[in-house]
Structure 1
C-alpha cells in the first residue's frame, strides 16, 4: 500500500527546456560541446559543494567576454512555465491528507531563486509538502543512493510504501534498486495530474 509520494520538481511540476537550454549555452559560451570541466562544476554547484559566488567566478574567469547577468540568464534559460493545474493537483492531495508528500529535486540556488521570483504561487506550492528537499541544501544529489536513503530515514518511511516520480530514468532506476515504486514520467506525453489514472494498479 502506497503511503508516501516523492516528487521531482523539474518537468514534473515546472516545465523545463533542456534541449533549448543546451543549445543556448553552446551559443552563449561559443563551444561545440560542454567541456567536462563545466559539467563537473555544474554538478558541484547543484550539490551545494560550491557557492553561487564561486560558481559565477569560475564562469567569468573562463568566459571573460560575458557579464554576470549574461551568465545567469544562460543558466536560468532552462526554466519555463509552471501550469496552475499542477499546483491545484498537489493542493488537492495536501488537503486530503492521505499521503506523506515530499519534494526531492536536483536544483541550485540560482534556479530556485529565479523560480521564487517568477512563480507567483511558489510559497503556496511549497507548503503543500511535508518535506521539501533541494540538492544544494542537503548536499546530496540524485541518482546517488544516499539521497533516497536520506529521505527514507529522515521521514521514517518504508521503501515499499513509497512512490517516486521523476522524468530522468537513471533517477527512477536508482530509487527502484532500493525497493521504492517509481514512475519515470514522460513529460512529452504524460502529466503529474494523471498520477492516479495511469497507476490504478498501485492506488
Structure 2
C-alpha cells in the first residue's frame, strides 16, 4: 500500500519551456557548446558553483548575449503554475492520507523566479504541502543518481515498496524503480498530476 508520494516539480506542477536555452544557442550559432552547457548545468544543479559562476560560464559559451540576457533566457523556461494543480496538492495535503515530498533537480536562480511569478503567498502555500522540500542545489544530489533516492528514503524512514514517485523524465523514474519505488512517468501534454489517484497501484 502506498503511504508516501514524492513529486518532481518542473512539468509536474510548474509548466516548463525546456528548449528555450537551446533556441538561444541556436540563435547565436553556439550549438556546438551544448556538451559544455550540460556539464555546467550539472554542477550548478548540485550547488557546486554559484549563480554568478554559472552565468559567467554560460556567457563564455554564448558570448554574443549579455549576462542579463542569459539570466532572462535561463529563467524564461519557467512558465505558469496552474491554480488547479495548487488546489489539488493542497487538497491531498489536507486529507493527511499520504506523506508528501518534493524532489527537484533545480538551481538557485529558478526557485526565487518561480516564487516571484507565483507570488510569495501562493509559493509558501505550495511549499507547506510537503513534509520535505528537497532541491538538488541545496542537498548537492541530483536525479537520476541513486544516492538522491536513498537519501530521501533513509532520512525519512520510508520503505521503497510503500513509496510512489512522480516525474516526467524516464531516466528518473527508472532509477527510482531500480530501488523498488513505484513510479509514474508522467507524459507532459497528455497527462496531468491531478490524475494521480488513478495512477496509484
Whether the 8 Å CA contact 2:47–2:107 is kept in 1: the answer is yes
Structure 1 59/43 Cα, relative in aligned 2: closer, same or farther at 3 Å? same
Correspondence list, 1:92-131, <5 A:
92-120=91-119, 121-131=122-132
Q: Secondary structure at the match of 1:22?
A: helix
Alpha-carbon distance, 1:18 to partner: 1.8
Query: When the two structures are superposed, what TM-score results if normalisation uses the length of structure 2?
Result: 0.94
In the aligned structure 1, how far is the partner of 2:63 from the partner of 2:87? 44
Whether the 8 Å CA contact 1:25–1:74 is kept in 2: the answer is no
Structure 1 33/16 Cα, relative in aligned 2: closer, same or farther at 3 Å? farther
Corresponding residue pairs, total: 199
Structure 1 65/22 Cα, relative in aligned 2: closer, same or farther at 3 Å? closer
In the aligned structure 2, how far is the partner of 1:188 from the partner of 1:179? 27
**Root-mean-square deviation over aligned CA pairs:** 1.4
In the aligned structure 2, how far is the partner of 1:81 from the partner of 1:33? 30
> Which residue in the other structure is 1:15 paired with?
15
Alpha-carbon distance, 1:23 to partner: 2.0
Correspondence list, 1:171-182, <5 A:
171-182=172-183
Alpha-carbon distance, 1:60 to partner: 2.9
Whether the 8 Å CA contact 2:101–2:131 is kept in 1: the answer is yes
Whether the 8 Å CA contact 1:26–1:34 is kept in 2: the answer is no
> Which residue in the other structure is 1:5 paired with?
5
Q: Secondary structure at the match of 1:35?
A: helix
Deviating 4+ runs (over 6 angstroms): none
Whether the 8 Å CA contact 1:8–1:104 is kept in 2: the answer is yes
- 1:194 and 2:182 are equivalent in the alignment: no
Structure 2: gaps of 5 or more residues: none
Q: Spell out, residue by residue over 1:81-121, the C-alpha distance to the aligned partner (whole angstroms, 9 max, x if none).
A: 11100000100011111111000000001111110111121
Structure 1 58/32 Cα, relative in aligned 2: closer, same or farther at 3 Å? closer
Q: Spell out, residue by residue over 1:36-88, the C-alpha distance to the aligned partner (whole angstroms, 9 max, x if none).
A: 12210111001111111111222234444322210101111211111100000
Alpha-carbon distance, 1:31 to partner: 1.7
In the aligned structure 1, how far is the partner of 2:23 from the partner of 2:181? 34
Whether the 8 Å CA contact 2:184–2:199 is kept in 1: the answer is no
